[in-house]
Amino acid sequence: MQALPSILLFAAICSVVCGIQHPDWHKVDISPDPEHIVKIGVALRQQNVDLLTETALSVSDPDSPSYGKYLSMDEITEIVSATPTTIKAVTNWLLDNKAISIDLVNNRDFIFAALPLSSLESMVNVKMHHFENIHDGRVITRSSQTYSIPSYLSEHIDLITGISSFPMESRRKSHKPSPPTHDSSSNAPSLISVLSRGGPNVAVKFTPICKNGQITKTTPPCSESPPTVSHTLISFTSASPAISEHFNYTEVPTCSNINNAIVCEITNLTVVYYHNYNVHVTQIYSDGSESETSSWKWPVVSTPPVVPQTISQMYRVPPNYVIENPKVTQAVVEFEQQYFSTSDLQLFFEEMGIPGANTPVTVIGPNNQTDAGGEANLDIQYIMAVAPGAPTTFWSIYANSSVEIDDILKWAVAMSNTTNPPLVNSISYGMSENNVDKYLGDGYLARSDIEFRKLAGRGITIIIADGDTGAGDLGALPMGNPTCTTLHPDWPSQSPWVTAIGTTYITPWAEPICYKSIDCDGLPLGEVSTSMDNGLFWTTGGGFSNTQSQPSYQSSFVSSYLSNPSLLPPSSVFNASGRGYPDAVAIGHNCMVCIEGEFIPVDGTSASAPIFAGIVSLLNDVRMKNGKGPLGFLNPLLYKIAQNTPQAFYDVTVGYNRCGAYDWIPTCCEFGYHAGVGWDAIGGLGTPNFEILAKEVLNY
């Protein structure tokens, strides 16, 4: 509580840390015009949230008599709408503060208002500033302070967005590498990355170290303190005891100056598909001497490129399945000015030989085709390739420089305000659970969760990528966390009201025994969770929420995982009573995406989410062909099918998500979650078997 000169008592809505400056947004010195119009969103206190929760669950629970009896927009309004008293109190407050527009949504639980900046500042007791995005120069108007509202309104308002909330970022936003640090007592090269993408070869990147142990600032490397680095010896040794394989390459590295650091690269080092290698790198100086050797801490594996047919084959979708029912709708949701290109989409369909190339795409929000991004192209190409023919919406939530907010809550509210929203929605955006309220405003996480329940009640499926930086959600604030004394669940994949999806890659080396004593080369293809400890250059998410408790639909699976301590981190670093995620996984490594006319291998839970979403659209098609409704909120059904018919999922039993990346540099927590038999907090229930699921979904 805080007293103000106007004698009104104000209730602080944000916690003390609310409004910490987002590291990607810098305050601009020029003060905003006091008459500048600012748009805010006011989340009104809803009624009957318990009834909403019960209803959302019963229409999604295959054992309930109301299974599939989804509610309309108006029926949701009847449950949750704010009271007339609340609406009146908030509206009057906004009008008293010179609001020029007040838009109450159809559910009567959210108000969007526009008002002069000076009125807003006095109304919620903050000072607003312009903030500029360090990547693209966009300017938004926000406050770095905690906002507060008159105490008489605290029973009417959950939170206000657009004041101290900063925009959501894509999972795949690239970060600049940090300058290398080096201990001059060694002249071993400083390894930056050793990885394989899209083919049977490995690329090695390193900062060269001179013979005297100093980092070089020149190219050719070490010309300032000769001898120069003339060659590099890269030594590959099988990481699997079952195979004895060892070979060397001696190559001339290609070196360049990137952000005042010399980075050398050697690409196209041919290796054998699916084999796990330990890699050692030694520099050879121009006087013929060798440096000390650096060993990459993780094994490295290469696997073939993935195209839509790979996915259909792995998940047993009949070839050339095309959806003809216009009601089987789906969408990809985008933030942060991620746009897709129709010409790339067209070329992707042609080159991949996928039917349904003329499927219409409905665009909601802006789509600047000349500024197409990797995330948006990936999402739309893969959801449409897996479910060709399904009418697809590209739903882009725009942050218009100074006036608009962009966030997942805003999307959810817009969905609820729509009579016939897309049935299946894939979202590859998110952040660390512990940072949500700190950066987006106190109450943001809880309110988003209620909005997800409203959509569940409507029969809408929400698929969320569960993050690319392991169980620690390692990474820069606010999307990730720089350290991991405890593990960090990811939001919104940790919500019990969404289907959280992690990532696998394809390999015949898919059983734990392969990493011990047998050569698995000849086995049928299987899948392994994407992780640095299993040969890839990034790690899929997974874990347990600290804010949402375990939903009953997953309790038998999660209890049995929790009863196996050898797969778990110590109980002090995670919350065993929380909602466990992911629910399922799908391929997400080496997916070939068409970007600016070229095919590029793309990785990420960002790929797995639209792929899984496409499978759900196919299942919706099967159901509708048989006179049944869409699947809606999937989880109760998914776990029930897994219980009764385990073959409906391919169980991923290899994986460990302790690692991640900080500033694009691989980093590991001490602990993570291991994959195992049955559900686990990295591979979920496994990957879908469409053939079996298509039969199972007709039983309910």
Ligand X SMILES: *[C@@H]1O[C@H](CO)[C@@H](O)[C@H](O)[C@H]1NC(C)=O
Judged by the rule CB under 6 A, the positions of this chain that interact with ligand X are 103, 105-106, 112, 233, 235, 246-248, 268, 270, 366, 368, 370-371, 400-403, 414, 417, 545-549, 575, 577-578
Does residue 44 contact residue 53 with C-beta atoms inside 8 Å?
Answer: no
User: Measured from the CB atom, is 198 or 457 closer to ligand X?
Assistant: 198
Specify the DSSP element, H or E, that contains 131: strand 129-133
Does residue 547 contact residue 579 with C-beta atoms inside 8 Å?
Answer: no
User: Measured from the CB atom, is 529 or 550 closer to ligand X?
Assistant: 550
Smallest distance, ligand X to C-beta of residue 275, A:
15
Between CA 643 and CA 651, with CA 647 as vertex, the angle to 5 degrees is 90
User: Measured from the CB atom, is 209 or 514 closer to ligand X?
Assistant: 209
Smallest distance, ligand X to C-beta of residue 340, A:
13
User: Which tokens is 359 given?
Assistant: 């499927």
User: Measured from the CB atom, is 2 or 577 closer to ligand X?
Assistant: 577
Smallest distance, ligand X to C-beta of residue 548, A:
5
Smallest distance, ligand X to C-beta of residue 677, A:
26
Instruction: Write out the DSSP string of 623-653.
Output: HHHTT-----S-HHHHHHHHHH-GGGEEPP-
- Active-site residue, from 402, 426, 531, 606: 606
Does residue 693 contact residue 619 with C-beta atoms inside 8 Å?
Answer: yes
User: Measured from the CB atom, is 63 or 596 closer to ligand X?
Assistant: 596
CA distances from 369 to 340, 366, 409, 598 (A): 6, 9, 25, 16
Smallest distance, ligand X to C-beta of residue 673, A:
16
Does residue 143 contact residue 164 with C-beta atoms inside 8 Å?
Answer: yes
User: Measured from the CB atom, is 233 or 363 closer to ligand X?
Assistant: 233
Chain centre to alpha carbon of residue 125 = 34
Smallest distance, ligand X to C-beta of residue 655, A:
24
Smallest distance, ligand X to C-beta of residue 256, A:
18
642 vs 647: CA distance, rounded Å: 8
**Closest by alpha carbon to 266, among 240, 229, 307?**
229
Active site residue 154: no
**At 193, which amino acid appears?**
S
> Quick count: other Cβ atoms within 10 Å of Cβ 270?
12
- Active-site residue, from 121, 375, 451, 583: 375
Q: Is 652 a known ligand-binding residue?
A: yes
In terms of Cβ atoms closer than 10 Å to its own Cβ (0-12, 13-18, 19+), residue 232 is: buried
Does residue 460 contact residue 59 with C-beta atoms inside 8 Å?
Answer: no
User: Which tokens is 353 given?
Assistant: 């030989």
User: Which tokens is 411 given?
Assistant: 């999307």
User: Which tokens is 519 given?
Assistant: 């050569």
**Closest by alpha carbon to 337, among 166, 168, 130, 463?**
168
Smallest distance, ligand X to C-beta of residue 685, A:
21
User: Measured from the CB atom, is 344 or 527 closer to ligand X?
Assistant: 344
| CA atoms within 13 A of residue 210's CA, in its CB half-sphere | 17
- 73-80 and 49-60 helices cross at what angle (nearest 10)? 140
Smallest distance, ligand X to C-beta of residue 568, A:
15
- Active-site residue, from 61, 109, 379, 442: 379
User: Measured from the CB atom, is 103 or 596 closer to ligand X?
Assistant: 103
464 vs 492: CA distance, rounded Å: 7
Active site residue 75: no
User: Measured from the CB atom, is 320 or 555 closer to ligand X?
Assistant: 555
CA distances from 688 to 9, 314, 691, 693 (A): 55, 9, 9, 7
22 vs 164: CA distance, rounded Å: 10
User: Which tokens is 644 given?
Assistant: 């009764």
> Quick count: other Cβ atoms within 10 Å of Cβ 645?
15
**Closest by alpha carbon to 203, among 228, 176, 172, 234?**
234
Q: Spell out where 311-428 has E strands.
A: 330-334, 361-364, 392-396, 424-427
User: Measured from the CB atom, is 373 or 672 closer to ligand X?
Assistant: 373
**At 130, which amino acid appears?**
H
**Closest by alpha carbon to 499, among 582, 428, 608?**
582
Smallest distance, ligand X to C-beta of residue 111, A:
9
Active site residue 190: no
Q: Is 651 a known ligand-binding residue?
A: yes
Q: Spell out where 322-427 has E strands.
A: 330-334, 361-364, 392-396, 424-427
Bridge-partner residues for 40, per DSSP? 113
Residues labelled catalytic: 375, 379, 606
Annotated binding site for Ca(2+): 651-652, 678, 680
Annotated binding site: 651-652, 678, 680
